[in-house]
Structure 1
Amino acid sequence: MTYRIAVVCLGNICRSPIAHVVLEDRLAAAGLDHRVEVVSSGTGDWHVGQPMDPRAAAVLRDAGYDPSRHRARTFDVDWYAENDLLLAMDHTNRADMLDLAPTVARQSQVHLFREFDPEASEDDDEVPDPWYGGDEGFALVLAMIERTSDELVRRLPDLITP
């Protein structure tokens, strides 16, 4: 049985695609890629079908990842049935996702991505949106996503039901 993780941001062209690519890489390195599948989406539909932001793709490429397969998708109510763990990049994305939950019980699937970040704190628990800033924001987001993905993969065996 495959465990499915969805990473979700606003437009699915910056943060969630970076997380998607990095998390898949970390799962493969840990030998869990045959048991865990990763998908990504955005709560908004402005970029559906588009590749990731060129700055996001560049920061990934420069770090040795392949960003070429990504095409933006939109989060909808079906993602609750299709995925086991739904990870929002920020509180606004989380609220939008919770608004679409088909039942109150399904809301328990939604968490902030940085809940797995060993450096996160109560007042610093979001992945900032680098879209409006410069290249340095994308590098910061990549570093944050890499360390969070490492911890998530380390904890996955406890999350995956046999």
Structure 2
Amino acid sequence: MAGISKNNREAVIKDLKSNDENLALKAIDKLKKGGDASFIADVLTALRDTTEIGIENAISQMLFDLKDQDAVEELVNQLNNPEFFDIRVIMLSACWQTGLDLSHRLPDLITVASTGSYMECLEVLTIIENWEDIKDQEMLENETLRLKAYLSESDTPENDEMIFSIVEVMEKFAQQ
């Protein structure tokens, strides 16, 4: 796969963020063929800022289809970036739709679940449910304790049931 040259990078990003559907869709095609993890923040900015549903759908689908581990890692890195809080549900959905193992990023996902909306909690639950196992048992234990502490002090009853479900799934991994 040929990467996007430094000279062409700015043009691709400009087209992606243009809010012109034809230009943005061409940029998305270029990113699918030659993009890498370094484009994730720009892709998320374009997703956040677009007012065109066609662009939003195309960017979302591109994120859902990511198979590059580095790109998905960068997507997880951006979950706690306040600039992207408005699109975190889409970002989380992409994390599970990629099918890549992100169990080593459990602390990041627990942070999102304990600070996020009901829908963000639901997406975190879906991500965790789709894992085969969690190898780092110490991390699993620590994050389970963190969520239990969150539940004991929670002032967001709308999220508590979802958080409790996340704890249940995590406890099943501890028993494996």
TM-score (norm: length of structure 2): 0.24
Greater Rg by CA: 2
Query: Greater strand share, 1 or 2?
Result: 1
Per chain length, whose mean CA-contact separation is higher, i.e. which structure has more relative contact order (CA < 8 Å, sep 6+)? 1
Task: Normalising by structure 1, report the TM-score.
Answer: 0.25
